[in-house]
């Protein structure tokens, strides 16, 4: 028996009567486990209006009181961590530990947002002119929206909602229809923590819902994470409608292995970052770049041995290192790219096609796959695979490895493994990529720094979380103030009228 997943509007779960729906699968079994409504334009508009009406009261709440809601929210999520992780795993296919990591990484940003009273402070200058003071204040935009992907159903909604709500905005979330239950529960927990009803609404849908958000005049800003073609569409459409936009797209993350690198450390990094979460991460390392033939041969042998021993299984099994892909369509797409790589002449070191898990033969499983001798003209190099596939591109020297990462049209993340500090320093300074790791496999910054890629991986001027998160969801108002002498200090008769001035004011 399937369950119905609700919208979350005005502080309550709402089950629409009739209308279009989409199936939500259990990736581990291939069975339909729920149905999610696909909102009409009228339903999305109603959610937007509801949020717009609730926003002024929340904006008038002091940042300190808003921070207390966030503190209570943290407590509630930690209390419910296990059922939340189980729910996330059941719809996405992540292992339970990985699902907990998804939630905890989102909570890192919520913890950062507790500092909103400090982060929203403006600047003040006295005596900018005779008797004149100048100060600035950060104010909420009003009503903002987030459109988030399936691969992090807790983390990315919290990355978007956290700074937006802490800044005093109302927030409308359109999560992925593939795994929509956790975002609904998170919004519900925010209300339980003290967030006024309607300030955080969750509405499910497809392109009709997205286009409604992009064109609605009440929405001031839109944040998105997903594939590059959709990121570009959302960026151009929302910007054309006068909205502030922050969009993050696909990736092709390289890990350069220098001849002096600790190979055991590099192999651990490539296995975990390449195959964790079945490769369904925008920060997954999908390209290994060993420098020199000797390094490449040694790296290939060690990777092949580790891949043979990887355990792919049901997400709830403690021994599983990763679980299924999110859908049958996702698996078919990845298998198609594997076939293209093989046909193009790449060497198949490990082939994960045809893997079945005993007892879960209809699940969307795909074994770990690795190619060697991949070239930059192959589709498996050019496209974001978003599956458990690792490509090895051999580089003759350091400069060639640096150019591979820098010239790729994506610029999300890159790592280098080396013992040479001078090489690492040169690499971090010169590589044309937004987030860089040195002996770190997944260079996702901590919450007080910003997250964002370059080139085809990011559209917009401001990144996610950190100080940029608050800059994106606020506008700066600058006040120039002058108070004439009061009657208590001198008499009106003693004042000399200045008269009108037609000269541009200066500080001189």
Residue 90, classed as helix, strand or coil, is: helix
Q: Is 282 annotated as catalytic?
A: yes
**Which residue from 72, 145, 144 is spatially nearest to 113, judged by alpha carbons?**
72
User: Distance between CA atoms of 149 and 140, rounded to whole angstroms?
Assistant: 25
The β-bridge partners of 246 are 223
Closest by CA to 94, choosing from 225, 274, 278, is 278
CA neighbor of 304 nearest in space, from 399, 369, 250: 369
Rounded to whole angstroms, the Cα distance separating 350 from 367 reads: 9
Query: Do residues 353 and 388 make contact, with C-beta atoms less than 8 angstroms apart?
Result: no
Burial of 456 (0-12, 13-18, 19+ CB in 10 A): buried
Catalytic, out of 113, 247, 282, 391: 282
Strand partners, 348: 371
User: Quick one: tokens of 369?
Assistant: 């796959």
CA dihedral of residues 253, 258, 263, 267 (deg, nearest 10):
10
Three-state SS at 147: strand
How many beta carbons lie within 10 A of that of residue 482, not counting itself?
Answer: 11
From CA 251, how far away is CA 253, in angstroms rounded?
6
Contact between 344 and 379 under an 8 Å Cβ cutoff? The reply is yes
Place of tokens 């890159």: 414
Residue 176 is classified by DSSP as -
Residues 55, 147 contacting (CB under 8 angstroms) = no
222 Cβ neighbours under 8 A, 6+ residues apart:
144, 145, 146, 147, 213, 214, 234, 238, 243, 244, 245, 246, 247
Residue 69: C-alpha distances to residues 10, 138, 188, 276 (Å): 17, 20, 13, 33
Q: What is the 3-state secondary structure (H, E, C) of 263-325?
A: HHHHHHHHHHHHHHHHHCCCCCEEEEEEECHHHHHHHHHHHHHHHHCCCECCCCCCCCCECCC
Catalytic (active-site) positions: 282
């Amino acid at each position: 028996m399937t369950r119905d997943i609700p919208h979350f509007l005005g502080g309550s779960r709402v089950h629409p009567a009739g209308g279009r729906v989409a199936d939500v699968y259990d990736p581990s079994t291939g069975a339909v486990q729920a149905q999610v409504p696909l909102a009409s334009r009228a339903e999305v508009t109603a959610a937007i209006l509801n949020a717009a009406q609730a926003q002024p009261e929340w904006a008038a709440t002091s940042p300190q009181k808003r921070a207390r809601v966030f503190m209570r929210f943290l407590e509630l999520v930690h209390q419910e961590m296990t059922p939340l992780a189980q729910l996330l795993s059941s719809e996405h296919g992540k292992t339970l530990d990985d699902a907990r990591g998804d939630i905890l990484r989102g909570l890192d940003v919520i913890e950062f947002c507790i500092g909103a009273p400090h982060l929203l402070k403006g600047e003040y200058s006295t005596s900018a002119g005779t008797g004149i003071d100048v100060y600035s204040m950060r104010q909420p935009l009003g009503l903002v929206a987030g459109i988030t992907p399936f691969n992090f159903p807790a983390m990315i909604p919290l990355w978007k909602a956290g700074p937006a709500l802490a800044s005093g905005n109302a927030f409308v979330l359109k999560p992925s229809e593939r795994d929509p239950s956790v975002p609904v529960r998170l919004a519900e927990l925010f209300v339980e923590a003290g967030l006024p009803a309607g300030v955080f609404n969750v509405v499910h849908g497809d392109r009709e819902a997205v286009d409604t958000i992009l064109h609605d005049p009440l929405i001031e800003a839109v944040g998105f994470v997903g594939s590059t073609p959709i990121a570009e569409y959302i960026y151009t459409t929302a910007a054309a409608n006068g909205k502030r936009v922050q969009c993050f797209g696909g990736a092709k993350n390289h890990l350069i292995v220098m001849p002096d690198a600790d190979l055991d450390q590099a192999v651990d990094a490539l296995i975990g970052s390449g195959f964790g979460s079945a490769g369904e991460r925008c920060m997954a390392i999908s390209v290994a770049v060993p420098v020199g033939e000797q390094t490449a041969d040694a790296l290939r042998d060690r990777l092949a041995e580790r891949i043979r021993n990887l355990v792919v299984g049901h997400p709830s099994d403690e021994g599983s290192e990763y679980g299924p892909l999110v859908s049958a369509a996702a698996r078919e797409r990845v298998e198609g790219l594997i076939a293209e790589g093989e046909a193009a002449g790449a060497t198949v070191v490990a082939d994960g096609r045809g893997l079945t898990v005993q007892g879960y033969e209809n699940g969307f499983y795909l074994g770990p796959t690795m190619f060697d001798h991949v070239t930059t003209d192959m589709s498996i190099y050019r496209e974001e695979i978003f599956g458990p596939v690792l490509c090895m591109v051999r580089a003759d020297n350091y400069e060639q490895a640096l150019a591979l990462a820098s010239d790729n049209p994506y610029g999300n993340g890159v790592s280098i493994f080396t013992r040479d500090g001078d090489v690492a320093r040169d690499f971090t300074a010169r590589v044309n990529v937004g987030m860089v790791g040195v002996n770190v496999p997944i260079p996702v910054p901590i919450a007080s720094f910003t997250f964002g890629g370059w080139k085809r991986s990011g559209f917009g001027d401001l990144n996610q979380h950190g100080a940029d998160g608050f800059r994106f969801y606020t506008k700066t108002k600058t006040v120039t103030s002058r108070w004439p002498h009061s009657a208590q200090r001198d008499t009106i008769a003693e004042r000399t009228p200045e008269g009108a001035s037609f000269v541009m004011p200066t500080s001189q």
